[in-house]
Structure 1
């Protein structure tokens, strides 16, 4: 018998940087007291930047405190990790983000004392003509990279990739990358805050200083080969009928992520791990009465079946569901109703 537990609505940690905008406030239901938000940390146990339960009897508890006080919520598979492995963000790129690169676990644990950063981007919104930088458009040397940083021509050798709503981009450690203006992105990543900024267009911060670069560390970890564009958008349809579908976005050691499109009703369950559920289109309601609005992220307990109804009239209920990735023989189970 599956134990019934209430879905837990999460309040994210909110951060603003010079490239952020107002879309997360106006269109995604984030902090109305802010005028700009660059990103929200929807599911986070990162120190001093945690998401907090904001519904039910566990309201006010952080993810890290929940792991200690209510470990059953997270399931048995969390024990396979030395620390909480996931970080899920929403990002509003009103302006271009810096050209950056993330280290591997090996480099990060050796030199930084924390995890490296593998991540994926789910493009939730995109202006017409929106794009990203992902890798180089030719093989380059580290000497050429430094020269181009110094003479402001680095962008000429970056691989610019057009993107649209619904695209999925896998960003591996060592791959130079940047989100460009006009994108709202769900970022699913390892629980790390390590970013080595390689180039920032000469921009200055609020105090008038050029933003810090981390060129030496970036060069230590960067992949200088030409990027293979055939590896972009390689997501797989797992379930599909006339109205409903499940699409695998990515799976790796740290996470397993799917996109769910639902017309009427569904049941969702994961035996050995929690699920993070973020609504990206439409609206819905749990059978227990909790409303689900665009931009909400809920923590769903392991080994618990949740029923969800689409209340968005003609709009499909579209959500991103994420669970753990390591040794997960039984992943997220989605059963659609009529």
Structure 2
């Protein structure tokens, strides 16, 4: 019988990484590395998750999916995605400017990259007072103007720039130009299982003495120049304990708060994924219990009943 699964973290070095994954989320970061991302639940070849707890410990997420299929993710989900795990769950520590980038749609990515496109959502766990993001293009920017300016390395007056703060939630659809511009930001990210990014500008930074590769032509093909991005508050007010943040074909995300209380949870349509934003608690299930804390992510297989208790804030993601 399947049970709640916790995975070993896959740490990804990034030029813009900082120390918030360790200092804020309590992760045990390898010494001497600049970690920008912790891949929490992933069946992507660039960072494969390995089960950390229980009878399946040591198996990769892909191996578990290959063996259990719809018993893990849900029959409807498995019938649509087959042996491709549909989501990738991360924490991001953006301590410097994140490169200006855009992600393609499924259709474009499958044709040109042979993998899914990337629809993603960001929940801001922490942000410095001066944190600002690039989210979309300014009115009047066309594909032709974009290509002309980008190839001259002229990015002035091109992008919408918005301040962000702790608790903000941003849904980033394919075709949306985005980046961090000022300050630092710690993010819980839910996205499609894809690692396709078209980099537009990287502030002339170098890795190993070489400027990072740009993808201006592909970016121009996939940018939605009219896309506008709304930032909503994910904070709960008063006696509120649950808030729907987004509902779309790729996933649905709720923000949930437990104040030394408990919650029974089960989903008969798809797996559930918890991203623990703050606090500590326990997940109890038929054959045991799992202690959980801030900075962790847990996969609850379809039809597995759990009871969560503690003082917690979390994101609950289903398909």
TM-score (normalised: structure 2): 0.90
The secondary structure found in structure 2 opposite 1:145 is: helix
Q: State the shift of 1:306 in Å.
A: 0.8
**Distance in structure 2 (CA, Å) of the matches to 1:78 and 1:140:** 38
**Aligned residue in 1 for 2:112:** 111
Q: CA deviation at 1:245?
A: 1.4
Partner Cα separation in structure 2 for residue 233 and residue 242 of structure 1: 17
Q: Secondary structure at the match of 2:249?
A: coil
- 1:111 deviates by 1.7
Which residues of 2 match residues 320-335 of structure 1 at below 5 A? 320-324=315-319
Asked whether the 8 Å contact 1:12–1:50 carries over to 2, the reply is no
Correspondent of 1:57 among 32, 39, 55: 55
Q: SS state of the match for residue 53, structure 1?
A: coil
Q: Is 1:73 matched with 2:72?
A: yes
Tell me the residue number matched to 1:251: 247
Cα 1:242–1:141, aligned 2, differ >3 Å: closer, same or farther?
closer
Deviation, 1:244, is: 4.7
1:76-109 deviations in whole A, cap 9, x for unaligned? 2222323221111110000011111111111111
The structural deviation recorded for 1:150 is: 4.2
Give 1:312-327 correspondences, 5 Å limit.
312=311, 317-324=312-319
What is the aligned length? Answer: 310
What is the deviation of 1:243?
Answer: 3.9
Partners of 1:8 and 1:54 within 8 A in 2 = yes
Gaps of 5+ in 1: 325-338
Is 1:27–2:24 an aligned residue pair?
yes
**SS of equivalent residue, structure 1 residue 115:** coil
Q: What secondary structure, in the 3-state scheme, does the structure 1 residue paired with 2:16 have?
A: coil
Q: What RMSD in Å do the two structures reach over aligned CA positions?
A: 2.1
CA deviation string 1:2-57 (max 9, x = no partner): x8x53221112210111011111222132332443100111111124111110111
For residues 155 and 42 of structure 1, do their structure 2 counterparts lie closer, same or farther at Cα, with a shift above 3 Å needed?
farther
SS of match in other structure, 1:321: strand
Q: CA offset at residue 137 of structure 1?
A: 2.0
Paired residue for 1:189, among 175, 188, 191? 191
Q: Deviations over 1:218-250 (max 9, x none)?
A: 11111223x535x33287x9xx89545111121
For residue 286 of structure 1, the aligned residue among 274, 279, 283 is 283
Displacement after TM superposition at 1:142 (Å): 2.6
CA contact (8 A) 2:147 2:217 kept: no
- The secondary structure found in structure 2 opposite 1:77 is helix
Segments of 4+ moved more than 3 angstroms: 150-153, 240-244
**Structure 1 residue 191: deviation in Å?**
0.9
- Report 1:12-51 matches (<5 A): 12-34=9-31, 35-51=33-49
Give me the whole-angstrom Cα distance separating, in 2, the residues matched to 1:161 and 1:179.
10
Q: Which residue is equivalent to 2:137?
A: 136
Does the Cα contact within 8 Å between 2:277 and 2:314 map onto a contact in 1?
Answer: yes
1:164 positional shift:
1.0
Report the equivalent of 1:303: 303
Contact 1:152 1:201 in 2 (8 A): no
The 1-side partners of 2:121 and 2:156 are apart by: 22
Partners of 1:32 and 1:85 in 2: CA distance:
27
Q: Once the 2 structures are TM-superposed, how far is the Cα of residue 151 of structure 1 from its aligned partner?
A: 4.3
Work out the CA distance in 1 between the residues paired with 2:239 and 2:258. Answer: 7
**Distance in 2 separating the partners of 1:126 and 1:234:** 14
In the TM superposition, residue 149 of structure 1 has moved relative to its aligned partner by 2.6
Tell me which protein shows more strand as a share of its residues.
2
Q: CA deviation at 1:148?
A: 2.8
In 1, Cα distance between the equivalents of 2:178 and 2:59? 35
Other-structure match for 2:212 = 211
Note the C-alpha offset of 1:74.
2.2
Asked if 2 retains the 8 angstrom alpha-carbon contact of 1:25 and 1:36, the reply is no
